[in-house]
Amino acid sequence: MGRLDHKVAIITGGARGQGAEEGRLFAAEGATVVLADVLDDAGRRTADEIRGARYVHLDVRSEAEWQRTVDSIVEHYGRIDVLVNNAGIDHVKRFEQTTLEDWERVVAINQTGVFLGMRTVARAMLAANRGGSIINISSVAGMEGVKGRAAYGSTKWAVRGMTKTGAIEWGDRGIRVNSIHPGIIETPMTAGLRAFTDADVRARTEHTIPLGRVGQPIDIAYMALFLASDESSYCSGQEFVVDGGIHH
């Protein structure tokens, strides 16, 4: 039997990168997977590649779209067992150069989107009274300050805080909430960084990582699989850093 047999999972930002890899792994381990994103063409292609997967359009900034999405999943499958709040955007700009428009866009997707996802899915989990696992993708930028990421880092710290509050409030109903904090991961979102466009910069970057390589989406997917499965049944309100050993 698979580790996620009979579980229904929704993964935001599921069209590509980490979300798509999580979808593939979850499905391989027996889950019914719903991929949610705003990249409709890519999302449909990814879902078509995953046996039994379904794609839905979801702008995580929209309260109404979250409610429609959750209602549709519950109506179709009867419940939601796992939420992976993976959708997010990066933003690299010095603090004093960050505009209010920059700030509000990053907060809307990375922070408000996670809040709406947690709240809407938790309501469905509470109503079903079956417990569940909520997995929030934060970042190592949610563990320490990172130069050039005032907006991005602030949202990832917020995700860390929301994770802990959710774990405390919903623990007695069997809902576990944890956060994953990736380091440097090679995904479409990070493809423009010099660590991935300049061979010399990549070599220097990898030299600073104790395990000697940048991360891949599957590295995050395996951690998400653990947290989605019953094997992590005594883990809640915790940060799981996946960064090749930089933080120690």
Burial grade of 155 (CB within 10 A; 0-12, 13-18, 19 or more) = buried
* CATH code of the domain made up of 8-242: 3.40.50.720
Helix (H) and strand (E) counts for the chain?
Answer: 9, 7
Beta-carbon contacts of residue 74 (< 8 Å; ≥ 6 apart): 80, 124, 128
pLDDT of residue 150: 95
Is the pLDDT at 142 greater than 80? The verdict is: yes
Amino acid letter, 222: Y
Radius of gyration (C-alpha) of the chain in whole angstroms: 17
Q: What is the DSSP letter of 142?
A: G
Provide the 3-class DSSP secondary structure of residue 34: strand
Amino acid letter, 76: H
Is the pLDDT at 230 greater than 90? The verdict is: yes
Is the pLDDT at 1 greater than 60? The verdict is: no
Is the pLDDT at 118 greater than 70? The verdict is: yes
**Which runs of consecutive H residues, i.e. helices, occur in 29-145?**
40-49, 63-77, 100-107, 113-128
Residue-wise pLDDT tens digits, 87-114: 999 999 999 999 999 999 999 999 999 9
Residue-wise pLDDT tens digits, 177-213: 999 999 888 877 776 766 676 787 888 888 888 999 8
pLDDT of residue 191: 66
50-62 average pLDDT score? 97
* Domain regions of the chain by residue span: 8-242
The catalytic site residues sit at 152
This prediction's pTM: 0.94
